[in-house]
Amino acid sequence: MNKNRRWYVPLLLFSICCLSAGMYWTGAPEKSPNIIFIIGDDISAEDIGVYGNQAIRTPNIDRLAKNGLKFDNLFLTASSCSPSRTSILTGRYPHNTGAAELHTPLPKHLTYFPEVLKKNGYYSALAGKWHEGENSRRAYDTLITDKKINGEGGENQWISLLKARPADKPFFFWLAPYDAHREWSANDEFEKPYKPDEVIVPPSLVDTKETRQDLAYYYNEISRIDHYIGELEKELERQGIADNTIIIFTADNARAFPGAKTRVLDRGLKTPFVIKWPNGIVKKGENISGLVSSIDIAPTLLELAGIKPEKTIQGVSFAKLLKEPAAAFRKYVFGEHNWHDYEGLERSVRTLDFLYLTNARPRLTNEGPIDANQSPSAKALKKAKADGTITAYQNEIFLSPRPTEEFFDNRKDPLQQHNLIQDAKYKTQIAALKKVLHTWQTETGDTAPENLTPDWYHRENGTEISGKGKRGEMPGKSANADRINHKGPF
């Protein structure tokens, strides 16, 4: 038995949880639903079959969407591993968590939504990547985080965890596979690994054999997750609990390739999000096109469990969309780029039609974190730049100085290639979004410290530099943003 596993049954809390289920979610069954939250590592929405990729094999994720709902415009608050995860865990923006930068732990005083589920009678467990700090340990009855136990991707623990759960309690699982994080480990695991000529090369990358092989290895990791999702569903059916189990598949940030991970453009922040719940979703197979932020996940899952969200949560429950997918929800989603291997300070606000972003470090290039900018795909881009064969869209990551402001028309330019910040036709829209972003930063206590955490690696060759290990001031710290609960514009 795992040393962190504590078996106890708080029957009173469980009873209260079950009795209160109808108070907040009128569509929920009388019995509290089980919740399985699967969060892949470094996966872009466009690399999932149901999101339009015809080369990837994700039949089980695609089936979740067919039998549930697919969110077309769910955006992360950061395209960076731990800031994105801590944001989801707390229902707060990265600068409001006290852990806005990579590898920084959550503070004790914040509340984590699995902790609330646990206090209300749920058995709570995490298997796989645990990247949110020691204080979040209290949110789980069970932690299985040792890579040696988890195996390469970590998914091989899912079925045993499902079998070993207490049978007399609803459960919450945070399943965090290491796939598809570099370095690749699924290359030889399947009978039919992807061949380089099968993949789809996005326009942000150079189409070379090195890039294609890189993508093929990445595809293998996604398909490994998909395989285990299928096995998980089989076990839920075997146990007779599939109908009242919520299954969610999403990702923490975009793929670890240049132009994606750490960006506040759509190719960094838009994430796959599909949810299946036979007992709670009536209009199966529909798409939800409205804007949703990842800070909205925590209050939603709490509401579906019949639990009132904590006051520290800045997100808003989108539970109503499960009953009425076409209902109106958010006007705005906000994004952050803080330190992730390299210094950076960007902010964005997006509506369905437009994206506006600011860059407080325009002198710096934006080639992505070290795992992306030292990848075979990145080296192919650098060679194309040297050879003069690179496109303007691909070369954008190397620009220095960069624009301090950018504005895109998402309707006419879905790839967000053309910065329209100087276009007089959009003067009104730019001014409006600039005001909204300023309001959000003011109300939520966002700050722009001069002494940010510096680069830890050389931007060209990836070698460690003298500043490695040094930390600067965290965005939001001087405003005590981790104590601010204002939601900002919605």
CATH code where residue 269 lies: 3.40.720.10
- Whether 18 maps to a domain, the answer reads no
- Whether 7 maps to a domain, the answer reads no
- Whether 14 maps to a domain, the answer reads no
What is the count of structural domains for the chain? 2
| Domain end among 299, 329, 359 | 329
Calculate the average pLDDT of the chain.
93
Q: Please give the Cα distance from 63 to 284 (Å, whole number).
A: 11
| Domain end among 307, 329, 351 | 329
| Domain end among 310, 329, 348 | 329
Confidence of residue 154 (pLDDT cuts 50, 70, 90): confident
pLDDT of residue 467: 83
In terms of residue numbers, what domain contains 213? Answer: 29-329
Total length of the chain: 490
Residue range 50-74: mean pLDDT, rounded: 98
* Cα 388 to the center of its chain, rounded Å: 35
Amino acid identity for residue 213 in this structure: Q
Amino acid identity for residue 464 in this structure: E
pLDDT of residue 222: 97
48 close to 273: Cβ distance less than 8 angstroms: no
Q: Is the model more confident about 9 or about 268? A: 268
* φ/ψ (deg, to 5) at 191: -65, -35
| Same-domain check for residues 352 and 321 | no
| Same-domain check for residues 276 and 376 | no
Tally Cβ neighbours within 10 Å of residue 326. Answer: 11
Report pLDDT digits (tens) over 333-350: 999 999 999 999 999 999
Reported pTM: 0.93
- Whether 2 maps to a domain, the answer reads no
Q: What kind and span of H or E run contains 286?
A: strand 286-288
| Same-domain check for residues 225 and 286 | yes
In sequence order, what are the residues at sequence separation of 6 or more whose Cβ sits closer than 8 angstroms to the Cβ of residue 82? 99, 102, 103, 104, 131, 132
229 close to 237: Cβ distance less than 8 angstroms: no
| Same-domain check for residues 366 and 242 | no
Confidence of residue 451 (pLDDT cuts 50, 70, 90): very high
| Same-domain check for residues 287 and 159 | yes
End-to-end CA distance of the chain: 45
| Same-domain check for residues 209 and 317 | yes
* Cα 39 to the center of its chain, rounded Å: 7
Report pLDDT digits (tens) over 309-319: 999 999 999 99
| Same-domain check for residues 106 and 141 | yes
pLDDT of residue 199: 98
Cα atoms found within 13 Å of the Cα of residue 489, Cβ hemisphere only: 18
Confidence of residue 212 (pLDDT cuts 50, 70, 90): very high
Q: Please give the Cα distance from 404 to 361 (Å, whole number).
A: 8
* φ/ψ (deg, to 5) at 349: -135, 135
| Same-domain check for residues 356 and 300 | no
| Same-domain check for residues 68 and 134 | yes
Q: Which is nearest to 367 in space by CA: 394, 389, 334?
A: 394
| Same-domain check for residues 368 and 315 | no
29 close to 244: Cβ distance less than 8 angstroms: yes
In sequence order, what are the residues at sequence separation of 6 or more whose Cβ sits closer than 8 angstroms to the Cβ of residue 419? 403, 406, 407, 408
Q: What is the residue whose two structure tokens read 């009388």? A: 30
Residue range 198-206: mean pLDDT, rounded: 98
| Same-domain check for residues 286 and 345 | no
| Same-domain check for residues 276 and 305 | yes
- Whether 439 maps to a domain, the answer reads yes
- Whether 471 maps to a domain, the answer reads yes
Report pLDDT digits (tens) over 322-335: 999 999 999 999 99
Q: Please give the Cα distance from 60 to 229 (Å, whole number).
A: 6
